[in-house]
Chain A
């Protein structure tokens, strides 16, 4: 009985979470031009989407910014987390962490405006590079926060054991620490990726000179009412993220099986 109640609860929660997305995608097939009534099936909105080269260029830009900034932010953030845990003086460590957290909680608008002032003061023309830099900057604290708990979980005796067995510092990092914290690194990377994909406030301030991202474009279409081309785009993006999650799952399954087989061979 209890089990069944739990299942029903789960189904309701997921239905509520996914309903708006499904609703949105369903309307991308509607023959009408708005989301008030469904008017029969058509691929028309997908056709307009794929012939809209400006929109496709913006999609490519957005994905490029997201992947590249998440990658760089993950590298820097992981190194940052490593050095924060290595700091032995408590005061320094705590203040480093606090500085990191202040960036996490300060509003995007403030960060965006300050970046705009900063870049224009340095006379850096707004565009791809400024968007990339600011995205990296606001993603680093997220990565640090995702990696830190894994580092804290790691027991010191693990490192001692490795060193006793003759591991050099380099081997310690590549063979012990990084494999151990890699779930945190992955989580950080994906969080950074999603933050970058849907950031509007910061991006708006630092775009310019013909460079734009999806969130900025969609927001500025709102004055006219968003047309169903955006729905079609959402459909494509949703499919894309499904594939991404599926791919990640498949890789994990495969590597787990490989590891299991190895273990069997050893034993």
Chain B
């Protein structure tokens, strides 16, 4: 019994020590003061050095909290009990949050960096007048090929994947909207089609792709491709950038006839409390130098035109990740479809997976 009590006391002492250490660590980075900004972000999606710089310049400390999916973030914000000042949802989630009245409109008169943004990424269908959101990073859906198995230049379009040469050679990302969208784009249709006939035609076309498909996988696709397991894959540019960094035989192509454009955006949730800090941060991140530094750290494409100009030429002129204007014009942002329409996409995709 005595031993038990001394153990409890010891544990409490350790707890006290830990509480002190945790508090001290947080205080040393200044997060307990009143001048704070609560940022709700994807994990490792901002250069930590920028946060230090922001604090030095404005004396606002940024508390970063992280989420791992749009849906999880939505739930947390919708339920309340939190005080996030800024969040970074993807485009379809911006539309959803807007409809659920979870967002505050931006006060344009307080934004100084608006003209730095490329108009290509402004005013898209999910927020036509950018009343609620500013673009943070963007990317595409495309084809990754390994030049050890596929001659460079032979795969440029979605249609090329249907070639008889690639039997059992393609890996697909397991996502209904993206794979159905790919089939639609290959037929010259919009990736947002809600016409059941066109969708069925796309599904039939997908079924013809089945013999070429080696596997439909999720995140593992990165690992397989870096280890030369498959010659071809369909995946997002963010994932592709990481694969390319680890295997120099890999290349990324955005089909010029059309593909998906995704955009992650900065928004102000209804729960925001630190008005001044928010605008200071938005303006800080819009500054070309900072946006460029962030883009170099994260490795995604920046929607900030002035920042892009500051990136090394090798990055800036890389058509894999900054496609040329014609291709860019053919890219489509996914529209937020109604539940029944999403259901149709999912059902048809499931049928394709069953064939396969």
Q: Do A and B bind each other?
A: yes
Which residue in A117, A210, A216 is a CB contact (below 8 Å) of B79?
A117
B56 within 8 A of A: no
A71 within 8 A of B: yes
| Residue-wise interface mask of B (6-27) relative to A, using a CB-CB cutoff of 8 A (1 in contact, 0 not) | 0010011011001101100110
Instruction: Check B65 against A222 for contact (C-beta < 8 Å).
Output: no
User: Do A60 and B25 contact each other (CB < 8 Å), given the known contacts A67-B11, A217-B43?
Assistant: yes
B58 within 8 A of A: no
Dominant secondary structure of chain A at its interface with chain B = helix
Interface size class of B (residues with CB under 8 A): 35 or more
Instruction: Check B28 against A53 for contact (C-beta < 8 Å).
Output: yes
Which residues of A are found within 8 Å of B245, using beta-carbon distances?
A: 33
A63 within 8 A of B: yes
Instruction: Check B68 against A36 for contact (C-beta < 8 Å).
Output: no
Interface residues of B in 44-68 (CB under 8 A from A): 44-45, 48, 63-68
Number of A-B contacts (CB under 8 A): 117
A124 within 8 A of B: yes
Which residues of A are found within 8 Å of B19, using beta-carbon distances?
A: 60, 64
A130 to B81, CA, bound (A): 11
A120 within 8 A of B: yes
Which residues of B are found within 8 Å of A60, using beta-carbon distances?
A: 18-19, 21-22, 25
B3 within 8 A of A: yes
Q: Which residue of A lies closest to B219 (CB)?
A: A222
Which residues of A are found within 8 Å of B31, using beta-carbon distances?
A: 210
B120 within 8 A of A: no
A221 within 8 A of B: yes
A-B interface, 9 closest residue pairs, ranked by CB to CB distance from nearest = A220-B43, A221-B43, A220-B66, A60-B22, A57-B25, A208-B82, A210-B63, A64-B18, A120-B81
Interface residues of A (CB under 8 A from B): 33-34, 36, 52-54, 56-57, 60-61, 63-64, 67-68, 71, 116-117, 119-120, 123-126, 130, 174-175, 178-179, 182, 185, 204-205, 207-210, 212, 216-225, 227, 255
